[in-house]
Amino acid sequence: MIPGSDKDHPSFIRSFGYAIEGFVTAVRTERNIKVMIVIGLGAIIAGIVLKIDLLSWCLVALCIGMVLFAELINTAVEAVVDLATSELHPLAKRAKDIAAASVYTLSITAAVVGLIVFARALGFIA
């Protein structure tokens, strides 16, 4: 049962539908996730052009997935904070800023991994 509801949990297939709906909503409403998708697609194109090896593909895929994951969590945190209060509150700001910082930290880490992967593919490092 879902807490506060007399309904059973949605089916496994329906749960995927909710997840896709959430992703589409985030893409439609959040500028940053659009930017991250474009950068991720750029990394995929660069990987294809440079013919990176399997381990490099794993690193690139993990970085793209983790950055998108972090941005989705950040978006969810912001929505919950906005639902909880419409006033400017120091704790609301703190929650939003820390959630955004997590995306920033992961994005910098992914960029460093990308630089290493593509520098190696271009022959700049062994």
Task: Kindly state the tokens that stand for 85.
Answer: 């209060």
Contact (Cβ atoms closer than 8 angstroms) between residue 40 and residue 67: yes
Please report, in angstroms and rounded to a whole number, the separation of the first and last CA atoms in the chain. 55
Active-site annotation, residues? 71
Q: Using alpha carbons only, how large is the chain's radius of gyration in Å?
A: 18
